[in-house]
Amino acid sequence: MIRKNLKVLILTSVIILLPILAGVILWNQLPEQIPSHWNAAGEIDGWSSKPFAIFGLPLILLAMHWLCVAGTFADPKRNNHSGKILHLVLWIIPVLNAVLSVLTYAAAMGKDVQMEVVMPVFIGLVLAIVGNYLPKCKQNYTIGIKIPWTLNSEENWNKTHRFAGRLWVVCGLVIMLTGFFGGFWIFLGVVLLMVLAPFVYSYMLHRKGV
């Protein structure tokens, strides 16, 4: 399966490493300390050295990317993975890295980056997209809601993922709105709902013999 997707894996890996090239080009314009973390109010509260931010972070993300891909392709039920789900796995870290790199370099160069707006919108969009794909996700051990009741029953898996898919799309849109109207606790509450509701729903199905 890796051979079949090797070209996409190489392309996504190159995209993850592109910020290194951008950092080298901008080296003299970047400060010695580069923002690496923002709090809920969008204020910078964490810094990294320039070498680590430019070289270290992309390499860490590349390692995470390969780990996720390797784990997905090693799944005993990998034949259940649809092409769309695999492409989601292959592209989610490269896209995330590209967005974060642009925002990080812009902030480091003194640009006004409204991280408290951009990140909820981006995270909500990603979660809504994932939610759209969840009902299409067949039973496996690496992608989806992997709890005992879904893994032991294909019907439970399918019903739980249909429920979770609708929930995640709605919650993703709500999270996007928090970027414009604020509300960190709303953001946190919605995320908890996305995690706990499918768990409870699957357990209720299990109690009913599904």
Q: CA end-to-end span of the chain, whole Å? A: 32
The proportion of the chain whose per-residue pLDDT surpasses 90, expressed as a percent, equals: 68
DSSP state for residue 38 in the 8-state scheme: E
Give the chain's mean pLDDT.
91
pLDDT at 76: 85
By the 8 A CB rule, do 77 and 151 touch?
no
Q: 120-149 burial, b for 16+ CB within 10 Å, e for fewer?
A: bbbbbebbbebbbbbbebbbbebbbbebeb
Query: In the numeric block, which tokens belong to residue 106?
Result: 């812009």
Q: What is the pLDDT of residues 11-31, one digit of tens each?
A: 999 999 999 999 999 999 999
Q: What is the DSSP string of 96-149?
A: HHHHHHHHHHHHHTT----HHHHHHHHHHHHHHHHHHHGGGPPS-SSSS---HH
How high is the pLDDT of residue 2? 63
Residue 3 has pLDDT above 80, yes or no: no
- Of 191, 5, 19, nearest to 88 by C-alpha is 5
Bridge-partner residues for 47, per DSSP? 35
pLDDT in tens, 98-124: 999 999 999 999 888 888 888 899 999
Averaged pLDDT, 92-96: 93
Q: Once rounded to an integer, what is the mean pLDDT over residues 38-52?
A: 88
Residue 50 in contact with residue 34, Cβ under 8 Å?
yes
- With a pLDDT cut of 70, the percent of the chain lying above it is 99
Give yes or no for residue 43 having a pLDDT over 90.
Answer: no
Beta strand 44-49 pairing with 33-38: antiparallel
| Alpha-carbon torsion (198, 203, 204, 210), positive or negative | positive
What pLDDT, on a 0 to 100 scale, did the predictor assign at position 1? 60
Per-residue pLDDT of 134-175, as tens digits, reads 998 999 988 899 999 999 999 999 999 999 999 999 999 999
Count of CB atoms within 10 A of residue 179's CB? 22
Residue 56 confidence (pLDDT) above 90: yes
